[in-house]
Chains A and B, each alone.
Chain A
Amino acid sequence: GAVVSQHPSRVICKSGTSVKIECRSLDFQATTMFWYRQFPKQSLMLMATSNEGSKATYEQGVEKDKFLINHASLTLSTLTVTSAHPEDSSFYICSALVKGPGSEKLFFGSGTQLSVL
């Protein structure tokens, strides 16, 4: 099946620094990618929808200046957590949408555990 590669799988950073997470579709092109966040014992929450070549659409309550999303190509979307703080520590997951004739499929990355000290 289609593979979505998310990197890094785990990152630890100091408070105030920025962290970039990459989401790549390895064997298909994805015009739309999604970014989710999951806090311990809570559900995955959609943060934003990323469309290739256009600005991302953020969900209510998600700071677009803090969580910068870039979808510059059909195979890569990046999420940059700027000026990270301990409360940003979470599990971040991306997914990529593939549209075919009369159908669509969604493939997920394996997630990135961010710990901000």
Chain B
Amino acid sequence: KAGVTQTPRYLIKTRGQQVTLSCSPISGHRSVSWYQQTPGQGLQFLFEYFSETQRNKGNFPGRFSGRQFSNSRSEMNVSTLELGDSALYLCASTQNSGRNEQFFGPGTRLTVL
């Protein structure tokens, strides 16, 4: 079974721009969660989508948004980029049965200049 895929793997943007990151979950998984990882704050939860609906949201400003499509693929968008948005953005796919284990993708490394 293929794992979680994220595209692109690396991205360089400048302040004020916007960016869209993509995540394809494991086949059959309907829940996708997004996390931001930085050296100072570690991994922080952004939001979770299940069946195209945002089910849970972390403590991030409205510049961070996401959506999920009917095939469970998800995108997250960051508008008006700030230097502090430079981070590794990780997507996690959850089976939503049994232990609800989360399987992470390799991440998208975003650098904001």
Q: A and B bound?
A: no
Which A residues lie at the B interface, using CB under 8 A? none
